[in-house]
Amino acid sequence: MRKSIVSLLASAALAIATTAVAQDARPFAGTSITVLMPSPQGPDIASAFEAETGIHVDLQTLSWDDIRPKLVTALVAGTAPADVTEFDWSWTGQFNAADWFVPLNDLIDAETVEDIGVAKIFTVDGKLLGIPYTNDFRVMLINKKHFSDAGIAEVPKTLDELVAAAKQLKEKGVSQYPIGLPLSATEGASTSWYLLTKAFGGELFDKDFNPLFVQPDSAGYKALAFELMLLKEGLVDPASTGLKDTQINEGMFSQGLTSIMISGEPGRLGQMNDPKQSKVAGQAEAILVATESGTTRSFGLPEALAIPKVSANQEAALVFVKWFTSREHQKKNLANGFLPTRTSALSELNAEGKLNSGDALVAQSKTVEALFPQGTPPWYPQFSSGVNTAINSAAKGQITIDQAVQKIAEAAKEAMAQ
Amino acid sequence: MTAVANGRQSSARGVGFGADTILGILLVSPILLTMTALVFYPMGRTIWDSLHRVNPMQAGTPFVGLDNYVRMFSDGQLGATWTNTLIYVVLAVAAETIFGVLAAALINQVKIGRRWILAAVILPWALPGVVNSVIWLWIYQPGAGLLNGILSAIGLPFENHVWFNDRASAIVAVTVVHVWRMMPLTIVIVLAAMQSIPSHLYEAARIDGATRGQMFGLITLPLVRSAIAVSMTNATVNAFNLFDEAWVLAGSSLETRPILVQIYLETFQNLRFSYGMALSVSITFVSLLVSLVYVLRVYRNTRFD
């Protein structure tokens, strides 16, 4: 009897202690936060996070293009668009200057920052403004069946080999326009040009932000000339002047209409190889970015999560940011098309054979550079708009290459001056 | 004493000057309050802020006078967007007025089922601008688009024609969608005016041997002049405010970019709020000025007649 009473008391004490520990582990249980991210996101994010932390999440998703106006209008009015928000690499300079987001340096452990190499892209003036959750960098995507049908055995490593492969694909009638390349006045046209500028062995600016793309022998000039040559040779669809990168990915590559995405997004491989979402399932493959010299290069365009300074639930918001960027969640989130930003998660997934074109992605990820090693400047959005507007006009034959690069240089100068 | 008595009497009946004034103020106050809160205050605040530097990337909002307005003269892309906008205004107002009046005259001749025709005609106007634009985006599609399909079917080489790769055809393509959406309003306004013209005027003209063309030119047009003026004002303001069609069909392409897209980019992309406000104030005044010039002219002539 005494034994039973002792046992009962011990169980009760354990139960009380367990509850106390559980409450300590869930200090914000019962709190509600809002999260604003681009669509689509995994369907079970809110429920999985709430089950683990007790924090209720109101997950709001918008198309990527609609998020920025919503953030800007709310933040300029001094209200929180959400407790946790999307934070694109290209906004870093502007949003740092506006002082809208909480620096996370002291709130995120050093091990995490080290594991997420691209976190440095979100560091300006020593302030870490966002924790990257999707590792967007550029690779080239090819349809390996198309290559096989055209009798191309080797994947292109140089730009000359790329053009030769595209011509062969066209000549063999495998695809009418073998190369997918956005030329509309949208961000996708800018990023493709940046990638090709690197592929031609150059940079956009020197360390003092003087343009390096104006001279005909510069990489940026050659990159634009290369794009227009592809268009003129009929290797790129003339309708690309009105198409965003998403439209080319989903409406052309995933439909089997094009064979090569010059500025490919690794995160799309899952969808492209999913028979429910793609007509080229099992055929899409990532290859290293072909360059003029044959030595591959790439740059990162990661997206992060950040916490607005006007958020009323910053501590609970931080719990979400940590959870969403944890190794375990990043590995699970691959199924939703998000490539992990943690090197450890990426390596583990590749070792487990769960990564589409894993070897190419891991190899390319080691070559990822920041587009602006000095940190993304606050005038980037205006500059980028000038870039894609000029590329679009040149692609439509409204201006020459010389005029286009001059316009880009003027846009950069004007953007920097203000 | 008499005055006091009269005043009391008037007050008792509730029709005196004081009571009328209070009643008038009470009746007008809802719209005055609404207009003040939603139109006059925001307008005044916008004008005031356009004289300051409002940019979240820079601390403070110092008074900068007319700097934001002066900057417009050195803005490289602004000239192109103003040119595009003015072309849209000229083309859209002309097309909506000419085809709108002709369509109204045609519908006015219909005796049976006029209301159904009118309902069908109004449909594009009732649809949101973005929906109309997306429909036309499919029509203009280079590969499988309806327009290229029809032109190819009649033997013309338009199979993969990209309408937005040429500035002239792109501007016309955007204008067509805008006119498609806004012309029904012109039709409705002018048709209402046509239906109010007394039929005996046409009977007298017919007895005098007037032709249909003469009746249209000498009776119909002069008597619907005010309605045309109203619809032209509406068309002008809407053409200056063109955004959805250009954005959906061609994004921020400079060849088709109207001033409103430029304002959007300056404000939400470049975060130059006060410059965006200065641009908004400018387009508002230009739009009002252009409308005012021909509205006053047409309206005065109508009253004179």
User: Can you tell me the ipTM of this complex?
Assistant: 0.80
Q: Is A11 domain-assigned?
A: no
Size of interface A-B (CB pairs under 8 A): 86
Res A376: pLDDT: 86
Give the Cα separation of B7 and B18 in Å (integer).
Answer: 10
Res B5: pLDDT: 42
User: How confident is the model over A153-204, as pLDDT tens digits?
Assistant: 999 999 999 999 999 999 999 999 999 999 999 999 999 999 999 999 999 9
Q: Which residue has the higher pLDDT, A353 or A391?
A: A391
Res A14: pLDDT: 45
Q: Which residue has the higher pLDDT, A333 or A25?
A: A333
| Mean pLDDT for the stretch of residues A295-301 | 94
Alpha helices (H) in A325-379, listed in sequence order: 327-333, 343-351, 358-365
For residues A117 and A262, membership in a common domain is answered with: no
- Residues of chain B in contact with residue A69, where contact means CB-CB under 8 angstroms, are 268
- Number of other CB atoms surrounding residue B14 within 10 Å: 11
- Residues of chain B in contact with residue A88, where contact means CB-CB under 8 angstroms, are none
Res B300: pLDDT: 53
For residues A102 and A72, membership in a common domain is answered with: yes
The structure tokens 């690499």 sit at A89
In this prediction, residue A5 has a pLDDT band, given cuts at 50, 70 and 90, of: low
Give me the residues paired with residue B52 across strands. Answer: B63
Share of chain A above pLDDT 90, in %: 70
Domain definitions of chain B by residue range:
2-49, 70-304
> Cα angle vertex A283, ends A351, B144, to 5°?
145
Q: What is the mean pLDDT of chain A?
A: 90
> Are B271 and A72 an interchain contact pair (Cβ–Cβ within 8 Å)?
yes
Q: Which domain holds residue A153?
A: 139-299+379-417
| Mean pLDDT for the stretch of residues B51-77 | 91
Res B1: pLDDT: 36
A265 close to A195: Cβ distance less than 8 angstroms = no
What is the number of domains present in chain A?
A: 2
A85 close to A64: Cβ distance less than 8 angstroms = no
| B165 CB within 8 Å of a chain A CB | yes
For residues A251 and A309, membership in a common domain is answered with: no
pLDDT score of A21 more than 70: no
Contacts of residue A21, Cβ cutoff 8 Å, sequence gap at least 6: none
For residues A77 and A130, membership in a common domain is answered with: yes
By Cβ distance, the residue of B141, B160, B252 closest to A385 is: B252
| Mean pLDDT for the stretch of residues A17-32 | 65
User: How confident is the model over B187-221, as pLDDT tens digits?
Assistant: 999 999 999 999 999 999 999 999 999 999 999 99
Task: Return the residue of B nearest to A244 by Cα.
Answer: B251
In this prediction, residue A63 has a pLDDT band, given cuts at 50, 70 and 90, of: confident
Query: Which range, of A26-35, A214-223, A380-389, B7-16, averages the lowest pLDDT?
Result: B7-16
Q: Is A279 domain-assigned?
A: yes
- Residues of chain A in contact with residue B270, where contact means CB-CB under 8 angstroms, are 381-382, 385, 415, 418
For residues A39 and A129, membership in a common domain is answered with: yes
For residues A95 and A165, membership in a common domain is answered with: no
- Residues of chain A in contact with residue B250, where contact means CB-CB under 8 angstroms, are 185, 242
| Mean pLDDT for the stretch of residues A361-369 | 88
User: How confident is the model over B19-56, as pLDDT tens digits?
Assistant: 888 999 999 999 999 999 999 999 999 999 999 999 88
Which of left, alpha, beta for A173 (phi over 0: left; psi -120 to 50: alpha)?
Answer: left
| Mean pLDDT for the stretch of residues B1-6 | 41
| B263 CB within 8 Å of a chain A CB | no
For residues A336 and A308, membership in a common domain is answered with: yes
| Mean pLDDT for the stretch of residues A110-138 | 91
Q: Is A277 domain-assigned?
A: yes
- Residues of chain A in contact with residue B167, where contact means CB-CB under 8 angstroms, are 396, 398
Give the Cα separation of A93 and A96 in Å (integer).
Answer: 5
Give the Cα separation of B227 and B125 in Å (integer).
Answer: 18
Strands A127-128 and A123-124, bridge-based pairing: antiparallel
Task: Tell me the shortest Cα–Cα distance from A351 to chain B, in angstroms.
Answer: 42
For residues A291 and A326, membership in a common domain is answered with: no
The structure tokens 């034959």 sit at A397
User: How confident is the model over B94-120, as pLDDT tens digits?
Assistant: 999 999 999 999 999 998 888 899 889
| B209 CB within 8 Å of a chain A CB | no
For residue B99, the one-letter residue type is: F
> Are B76 and A410 an interchain contact pair (Cβ–Cβ within 8 Å)?
yes
* CATH (domain of A34): 3.40.190.10
Q: What is the mean pLDDT of chain B?
A: 89
User: B275: closest CA among B45, B72, B79?
Assistant: B72
Q: Is A143 domain-assigned?
A: yes
User: A374: closest CA among A253, A207, A259?
Assistant: A207
pLDDT score of A13 more than 80: no
pLDDT score of A346 more than 60: yes
Share of chain A above pLDDT 70, in %: 94
Give the Cα separation of A241 and A388 in Å (integer).
Answer: 10
For residues A54 and A161, membership in a common domain is answered with: no
| Mean pLDDT for the stretch of residues A263-279 | 88
A255 close to A279: Cβ distance less than 8 angstroms = yes
Give the Cα separation of A354 and A339 in Å (integer).
Answer: 11
- Residue A211 DSSP class: B
For residues A164 and A277, membership in a common domain is answered with: yes
By Cβ distance, the residue of B165, B269, B273 closest to A382 is: B269
For residue A313, the one-letter residue type is: N
> Are A98 and B56 an interchain contact pair (Cβ–Cβ within 8 Å)?
yes
pLDDT score of A307 more than 70: yes
B72 close to B282: Cβ distance less than 8 angstroms = yes
By Cβ distance, the residue of B57, B166, B251 closest to A185 is: B251
> Cα angle vertex A188, ends A184, A192, to 5°?
105
pLDDT score of B162 more than 70: yes
pLDDT score of B8 more than 50: no
A234 close to A181: Cβ distance less than 8 angstroms = no
| Mean pLDDT for the stretch of residues A128-133 | 95
| Mean pLDDT for the stretch of residues A5-10 | 52
For residues A112 and A229, membership in a common domain is answered with: no
Res A19: pLDDT: 45
For residues A398 and A251, membership in a common domain is answered with: yes
Res A25: pLDDT: 65
pLDDT score of B62 more than 80: yes
By Cβ distance, the residue of B57, B251, B270 closest to A98 is: B57
Q: Is A119 domain-assigned?
A: yes
Give the Cα separation of A342 and A345 in Å (integer).
Answer: 5
Distances (CA, A) of A181 to A44, A246, A395: 34, 11, 11
Backbone phi, psi, residue A374, to 5° = -80, -5
Q: Is A50 domain-assigned?
A: yes
User: How confident is the model over B230-247, as pLDDT tens digits?
Assistant: 899 999 999 999 999 999
Q: Which CATH class is domain B70-304?
A: mainly alpha
Share of chain B above pLDDT 70, in %: 91
Give the Cα separation of A376 and A353 in Å (integer).
Answer: 35
Q: Is A410 domain-assigned?
A: yes
In this prediction, residue B299 has a pLDDT band, given cuts at 50, 70 and 90, of: low
> Are A76 and B77 an interchain contact pair (Cβ–Cβ within 8 Å)?
no
Q: Which residue has the higher pLDDT, B281 or B13?
A: B281
Res B301: pLDDT: 56
- Model-level pTM? 0.84
User: How confident is the model over B255-288, as pLDDT tens digits?
Assistant: 999 999 999 999 988 889 999 999 999 999 999 8
